[in-house]
Chains A and B, each alone.
Chain A
Amino acid sequence: MVVISLELLTKAVISGMVLGGVYSLLAIGLTLITGVMRVMNFAHGDLMMIAMYVTFWLFALFNINPFFSMTLVIPFLFLIGMFIQKFLISPVRTPENQVLITFGLAILLENLALFLWSPDYRSIITPYTTITIHFSHLDVGLIRFLTLIVALVTSFSLHVFVTRTEMGKCIWALAQDPEAAMLVGIDIHKLRLITFGLANALVALAGIFLAQIYYIFPSLGLRFTIIAFIVVILGGFGSVGGALLGSFIIGLTEALGGVFVGIGYKDVMVFIIFILILLFKPSGLFGKIRV
């Protein structure tokens, strides 16, 4: 049995927060999609996988540092997002069909990656992927820590975007009530294209960071899709703050559950917390938009 010390507890909490940061980047994109467009995008994790591969190849073939390749990867994924929205999602009316089609897309992307790039595990090693920040006797990997910062900054920026800018407010209106938005003259189709593209861009950002702390292989998508969904449902659709809070809850549950119950059970802990929260708050923590 592990002795519960304050030190261990602190370390676990830090791990949890950092992990939450990683998850939140992933979830912010998804909450936008589910909140605004009521679409369950089952290909979310696989799109991140594609972003990770692009980042990797830019690094392996042309020696482009991941932080620079952001300028290429993010717009690329943005365009892919718009493409998917236009040709795959909007032609399909019902949510069930949207799930089915994104599921088909997920399988297609995973095996396309397998076909093109083989099942080898890839990693990106740069001089700073091994840097650790030491703070008294706490240690956090630099990139993981950066991910947390970026996640917070991105959430904040997104919040500002949605509440202050014209386009952002239109997106929010669309999320609240599509019919009313249409009546007010908002071009919903164009807006949906942009939202999906934006969500994908966020996923690309998540992928760029994840590619430096994790390893890259074709089948990594599904697990992240599920995590993203758990976070989004927990936090409430369309709520960026909810996505943040949800990811921290999940991250902390994993970390604390991992330390104090057993790492084999961390997923069980997450699911139990998930179920419990839903039972007491059926629309999620900040759920304003009913699905």
Chain B
Amino acid sequence: MKIIKEYITGGLKPKSINLYLFAAFITILSLIPVWTSDPTILNVFIYTFLFAFYAASWSILGKYAGQISIGHSVYFGLGAYTTVLLYVHYNVSPWLGMFVGGLLAAMVAMLLGLPCFRLRGLFYIFATLAFAEVVRIIFLHPLRDLSGGAEGIPFTIGYTSPYYFQFVEKWPYYYIALTMMILLIAGLQKMEKSRLGYYLKAICEDEDAAEAIGINVLKYKLIAAGISGFLTAIAGTFYVQFLCYIGVNDVFGIMRSIEPVIISWVGGSGVFGPILGSFIITPITEFLVLTLGMTTAYGLHMILYGAILIIIVLFMPEGVIKPLSQKFYIPLLKKLSEEYRRV
């Protein structure tokens, strides 16, 4: 007993502590559907995972590559529509359609990046918005027969079919979303330590310096854009497969573009920033609707939402992850690892 205690308080490496913490995190989340079948709680968790995934995908371009895009709804919607249309017209499984949508989105992301990456700051940001709106209007008007226009296309099949990526129960969606999020976390951590990650960091710090030391800035930004687009398309697919409805203004709307940005910024930097951001913003948003949104104080819940955003930014300007990690994570590390204490 004493040996174990000694081992725990002294001998653990920070790396294995992280692993244990992460494992605990996954385990707890995995057990939730076992513990409760309350649809609202599961709904909130599913959307939390999904938007964590989406925000993290966005952050590959928005934070790691430093190109803040408020037009990611393009990839979200392209992924969603590719999947649904392939399914509706050619009976293709959404699992395959998702992949096709992802590739399409990645190509569009890279094509868009080519001219737009030389725009700086606000110019780039609004160029992405402009492009997103153009795509939305194209799907709304000339392509309305294909896309269902503003009315959209409901496509529930009413029974569970893994092949068609539709489940009557919530738990399959839960575990799929959870797995997606976990895989992305792991992938991002790998990316951070990879060559791509280091180059992106350099580019983000000082683009001109990076160019000067020989990094092909454009190439790596395009890679980041492609990956970000691909993953966002996957998020879009999951979203519509869960909702079993696709509408132009829903998947290509401005809110879909703004949400990952808010979540990532509120969360903070790093891999866990967007994740944490989603774990805060998504439940708050939904619970505000479920509590105050169900009273006769019309609009009060949205007033609070705006106020909460303001308060978070005023008191935690570097995102939630900074004070949280300082208050809980670092002391925990210090306690469990002598090695970390020495650092």
A residues adjacent to B (C-beta < 8 A) = 34, 40, 88, 91-94, 96-97, 100-101, 103-112, 114-115, 118, 218, 222, 226, 229-230, 233, 237, 262, 264-265, 267-268, 271-272, 274-275, 278-279, 282-284, 290-291
A-chain residues with CB within 8 Å of residue B120 when the two chains form the complex = 282, 290-291
CB <8 Å contact, A274 and B126: yes
Interchain CA distance A222-B130 in the complex, whole Å: 14
CB <8 Å contact, A111 and B130: no
- Given the interface contacts A96-B265, A100-B262, A104-B306, does A282 sit within 8 Å of B123 by beta carbon? yes
B-chain residues with CB within 8 Å of residue A110 when the two chains form the complex = 302
B-chain residues with CB within 8 Å of residue A108 when the two chains form the complex = 302-303, 306-307, 310
Which of B126, B134, B141 lies in contact with A272, CB distance below 8 A? B134
- Given the interface contacts A96-B265, A111-B306, A265-B137, does A283 sit within 8 Å of B123 by beta carbon? yes
CB <8 Å contact, A103 and B262: yes
Of the A-B pairs whose beta carbons lie under 8 Å apart in the complex, a sample of 20, sorted by A's number, is: A92-B314, A94-B317, A100-B262, A101-B309, A101-B313, A103-B258, A103-B309, A104-B308, A105-B310, A108-B302, A108-B306, A111-B302, A114-B298, A115-B297, A265-B141, A268-B134, A268-B138, A278-B127, A282-B123, A291-B123
Interchain CA distance A110-B121 in the complex, whole Å: 27
B296 to chain A, nearest CB (A): 11
CB <8 Å contact, A114 and B299: yes
Interchain CA distance A182-B300 in the complex, whole Å: 42
Interchain CA distance A230-B133 in the complex, whole Å: 12
B-chain residues with CB within 8 Å of residue A262 when the two chains form the complex = 141
B214 interfacial contact with A, CB 8 Å = no
CB <8 Å contact, B298 and A115: yes
B34 interfacial contact with A, CB 8 Å = no
B68 interfacial contact with A, CB 8 Å = yes
B-chain residues with CB within 8 Å of residue A230 when the two chains form the complex = 126, 130
Interchain CA distance A13-B318 in the complex, whole Å: 48
- Given the interface contacts A230-B130, A279-B115, A282-B118, does A111 sit within 8 Å of B303 by beta carbon? yes
Interface string of B308-337 (1 = CB under 8 A from A): 111001100100000000000000000000
B-chain residues with CB within 8 Å of residue A283 when the two chains form the complex = 123
B74 to chain A, nearest CB (A): 12
CB <8 Å contact, A97 and B313: yes
CB <8 Å contact, A271 and B130: yes
**CB-based nearest B residue for A272:** B134
B-chain residues with CB within 8 Å of residue A279 when the two chains form the complex = 115
Which of A100, A109, A229 lies in contact with B309, CB distance below 8 A? A100
B119 interfacial contact with A, CB 8 Å = yes
Which of B262, B265, B309 has most chain A Cβ within 10 Å?
Answer: B309
**CB-based nearest A residue for B313:** A101
B108-137 CB contacts (< 8 Å) to partner A = 115, 118-123, 126-127, 129-131, 133-134, 137
A-chain residues with CB within 8 Å of residue B254 when the two chains form the complex = 222
**CB-based nearest B residue for A106:** B306
B87 interfacial contact with A, CB 8 Å = no
A-chain residues with CB within 8 Å of residue B126 when the two chains form the complex = 229-230, 233, 274
CB <8 Å contact, A264 and B141: yes
Given contacts A93-B317, A100-B265, A104-B309, 16 further A-B contacts (CB under 8 A): A88-B314, A91-B314, A92-B317, A96-B68, A97-B265, A104-B305, A111-B305, A115-B300, A237-B122, A268-B133, A268-B138, A271-B134, A272-B130, A275-B127, A278-B123, A291-B121
CB <8 Å contact, B262 and A282: no
CB <8 Å contact, B127 and A267: no
B284 to chain A, nearest CB (A): 12
B-chain residues with CB within 8 Å of residue A96 when the two chains form the complex = 68, 265
Interchain CA distance A133-B300 in the complex, whole Å: 44
**CB-based nearest B residue for A283:** B123
**CB-based nearest B residue for A115:** B299
CB <8 Å contact, A101 and B310: yes
